[in-house]
Amino acid sequence: MSEFVVCGRLLDTLALREATAEVAALRIDAEGVIVERAPDGTDAFDALRLRDDAIVLPPDHVLIAGLSDLHIHAPQWPQAGQALDRPLEDWLGAYTFPLEARYADPAFAKAVYADLVLSLLACGTTSALYFSTIHEEASLELARACLAHGQRGFVGLVAMDDPGLCPPDYRHASAREALDATRRFIAAVRALPGNDRGLVQPVITPRFIPACSDALLEGLGALARETGVRVQTHASESDWAHQHVIERLGCTDSEALDRFGLLRPHTVLAHANFIDRDDRDRIRARDAAVAHCPISNAYFANSVLPLREILDEGVRCGLGTDIAGGYTPSIFENARQAVTSSRLRESGVDAGKPPALRGGVAGARVDFLEAFYLATRGGAEALGVSAGALRPGMMFDAVAIAGRRGHLRLQDDDTAATLVQKIVCHAGRETIVRVWVDGRAIKLKSDE
Ligand code: GUN
Ligand code: FE
């Protein structure tokens, strides 16, 4: 790849409740790093715009940073939108574990994963933190799909060994077996042909505490310390899962994970609905992060994340689709739901009760600027990736949006806040026209 320039209307955010919109030119070096940003009206802008290698976006397009999905189960893609009426513990046993067991067949995995990675890129997801299954070969197919299509992928071989919760045909036979498999998987991902730039990274992935023995959790904590590999897991998702951990270990998920050495910088805790102030302090102190999955939470968690508190207290946070707990691969749809859920939490929702008895949380709302931050910069920070905004020093992970497609109606005089709100409300696959990851232009799948 050689250096190039992109010019157009840029929209990005570096802090909660702030966004910048301006016409500017970006120069991207051969390593895919943004090395210059020159606003319209400067000599530098004029010089960049006139270069032969300049891509000049049409005036009605907006360029934003790529989106991060901090929590997605790749093998559950075939059941997206199915069985949303079942409680989590039934849904896992009746639908999810039987589907995931099918990934013993790498050919099945290969077909599903290619389709998923392309679909996510088409939705603007430039970085994804994946759960795969317990199968090493199938999980490597997911890593290969990310490399083949150019997505920044963080891929976790799922570790689960508890015979009380996991079915006999879909679990590791022992903690030792799961640890050996995880160790092999880390080495195999790092050695994949074409992964010399580290676009795809392995992730240590205990499914959730109820599915893992103490020996496995301890061993994975030691492996994280030894290898420096990131960690992801589900934490305090539903009342059932939260209570299960308290009864077994006498403490909450965040404390237990900390004791096992799994709460580390850039550990991503999916859901975290039931965390309290002590949990939040612990997560922040360890520089770990929360993956907020608001659509999934509405169906499976019996709760709404205390997002306002998380943001006000400075806990790292981004968004996750949680396919197939959530039905959509779109981070924009989850950003909308994050705003909507926070409004319902504030109002207490039950119109049949007098306001004083509705249980609403005053001031709980989050706004569209905050949701946009979570979708872009918040997600990148949670992952420890230098991306998520269009600034010098960051990797060029970016999405160009056509401003007059579908329901989107951007105007020339829209402020940054208005652009953000319109885009969060209406952007999606049909409005996304170009995607870059690591400075490379992605070949998007056309809709069949
Ligand atoms: N907890 C353990 N496994 C899962 C899963 O696959 N999805 C969700 N939403 N929660 C889980
Ligand atoms: Fe999940």
CA distances from 213 to 166, 172, 234 (A): 11, 11, 15
Q: What is the pTM of this model?
A: 0.98
Size of the chain, expressed as the number of residues it contains: 448
**Ligand 1 neighbour 207 (Cβ under 6 A):** yes
Region of 127 (left: φ > 0; alpha: ψ -120 to 50; beta: rest) is beta
CB 63 within 8 A of CB 314: no
**Ligand 1 neighbour 379 (Cβ under 6 A):** no
Same domain, 184 and 261: yes
**Ligand 1 neighbour 205 (Cβ under 6 A):** no
Other C-beta atoms closer than 10 Å to the C-beta of 34 total: 23
What is the tens place of the pLDDT at every residue in 74-126?
999 999 999 999 999 999 999 999 999 999 999 999 999 999 999 999 999 99
352 domain residue, yes or no? yes
ipTM above 0.90, yes or no: yes
Same domain, 90 and 43: no
**Ligand 1 neighbour 100 (Cβ under 6 A):** no
Those residues with Cβ within 8 angstroms of residue 71's Cβ, 6 or more apart along the chain or in another chain: 129, 131, 232, 268, 270, 271, 291, 293, 320, 321, 322
Same domain, 154 and 13: no
Query: Is 443 exposed, middle or buried, given 0-12, 13-18 or 19+ CB atoms closer than 10 A?
Result: exposed
Same domain, 126 and 208: yes
Same domain, 242 and 357: yes
Same domain, 136 and 10: no
Same domain, 112 and 223: yes
Per-residue pLDDT 10s for the chain (448 aa) are: 899 999 999 999 999 999 999 999 999 999 999 999 999 999 999 999 999 999 999 999 999 999 999 999 999 999 999 999 999 999 999 999 999 999 999 999 999 999 999 999 999 999 999 999 999 999 999 999 999 999 999 999 999 999 999 999 999 999 999 999 999 999 999 999 999 999 999 999 999 999 999 999 999 999 999 999 999 999 999 999 999 999 999 999 999 999 999 999 999 999 999 999 999 999 999 999 999 999 999 999 988 999 999 999 999 999 999 999 999 999 999 999 999 999 999 988 888 887 777 788 999 999 999 999 999 999 999 999 999 999 999 999 999 999 999 999 999 999 999 999 999 999 999 999 999 999 999 999 755 5
Bridge partners for 268 per DSSP: 232, 289
Same domain, 302 and 254: yes
Same domain, 337 and 429: no
Tokens of 325: 């707990």
Query: Is 15 exposed, middle or buried, given 0-12, 13-18 or 19+ CB atoms closer than 10 A?
Result: exposed
Same domain, 399 and 376: no
Q: Which of 340, 363, 383 is the last residue of a domain?
A: 383
By residue range, what is the domain housing residue 42? 4-65+387-441
* Residue nearest to ligand 1 atom 9, measured at CA: 325
Give the CATH number, domain containing residue 196.
3.20.20.140
**Atom of ligand 1 at shortest range from CA of 208:** 2
Q: State how many domains the chain has.
A: 2
Same domain, 364 and 427: no
> What is the rounded CA–CA span in Å between residue 387 and residue 152?
11
252 domain residue, yes or no? yes
**Ligand 1 neighbour 300 (Cβ under 6 A):** yes
CA distances from 276 to 261, 293, 382 (A): 20, 18, 20
State which of 73, 160, 242, 244 you would mutate to test the pocket of ligand 1, scoring each by most atoms of that ligand within 8 A of its C-beta. 73
304 domain residue, yes or no? yes
Kindly give the pairing relationship between strand 289-292 and strand 268-271.
parallel
What is the tens place of the pLDDT at every residue in 344-359?
999 888 888 877 777 8
Give the CATH number, domain containing residue 430.
2.30.40.10
- Residue 286 DSSP class: T
447 domain residue, yes or no? no
